[in-house]
Amino acid sequence: QVQLVESGGGVVQPGRSLRLSCAASGFRFSGYAMHWVRQAPGKGLERVAVVSYDGRQKYYVDSVKDRFTISRDNSKNTLYLQIDSLRPEDTALFFCARIPKNGDQHYWGQGTLVTVSS
Amino acid sequence: QSALTQPASVSGSPGQSITISCTGTSSDVGGYNYVSWYQQHPGKAPKVMIYEVSNRPSGVSNRFSGSKSGNTASLTISGLQAADEADYYCSSYTSHNDLDVVFGGGTKLTVL
């Protein structure tokens, strides 16, 4: 079955960096665009970054453009999110997700929690 | 990249029906039939309940239905049950590019 397993979260000090990973299995990872979606405590969902199936196209929400970098390694079936210059407002649960335009095959991981605190 | 607009909360009694609205623009909800609805229980990942405006994945109760008129999409839940109490989010693809998705702010459904 399809699985998306995020890792790499933790408690970090402001200004530090973190790399989140999402290991995919159960489907042809290289055939799909993939998203990172974050949810701050008690808040709603926010798509922060998306990467095309081949890694060539990348889009970010304006608020993270200069600090977040999405990438993927199709040979390892893994999605990444590099987060630099972490801020307290980046504290959130980060989900990786496959959100297709067509069809019902929407898949989400369980999320990895990033807490930015001194 | 503005979020879609949803009511913050709705409530209903068991057995009743409720409708949650999701308002966007002609660049997202109004321009495409790529609207989805997600249910999220506390501490859990979102689960798709409706895709492409009105389609239900297998395994989702037929008490859940979706529709769209102009720039507003709607999720209706009939025969409310206690287990339906959750947060609900709409999402839509946008005209910005072929990959971009925007979410609504979320609606807390309370079953009285």
* Tens digit of each residue's pLDDT (9 = 90 or more) over B52-100: 999 999 999 999 999 999 999 999 999 999 999 999 999 999 888 888 8
Short-list A28, A29, A27, A20, CA closest to A92: A20
Short-list A96, A83, A4, CA closest to A51: A96
What is the model's pLDDT at position A79? 98
Q: Write down the H helix ranges in A10-107.
A: none
What's A67's DSSP letter? T
Binned at pLDDT 50, 70 and 90, residue A103 comes out as confident
What is the model's pLDDT at position B97? 81
Question: CB contact, 8 Å: B64 with chain A?
Answer: no
DSSP strand pairing (B86-93 vs B101-103): antiparallel
Residue of B nearest to A110 (CA): B45
From chain A, the residues in CB contact with B34 under 8 A are 101-102
Q: DSSP per residue over B38-65, as a string?
A: EEE-TTS--EEEEBTTTB--TTS-TTEE
Give dist(CA A14, CA A16) in Å, integer. Answer: 6
Query: B4-21 burial, b if ≥16 CB within 10 A, otherwise e?
Result: bbbeeebebeeeeebebb
Tokens of A46: 């926010």
Short-list B23, B31, B42, B12, CA closest to B109: B12
Q: Are A59 and B96 inside 8 Å of each other by CB? A: yes
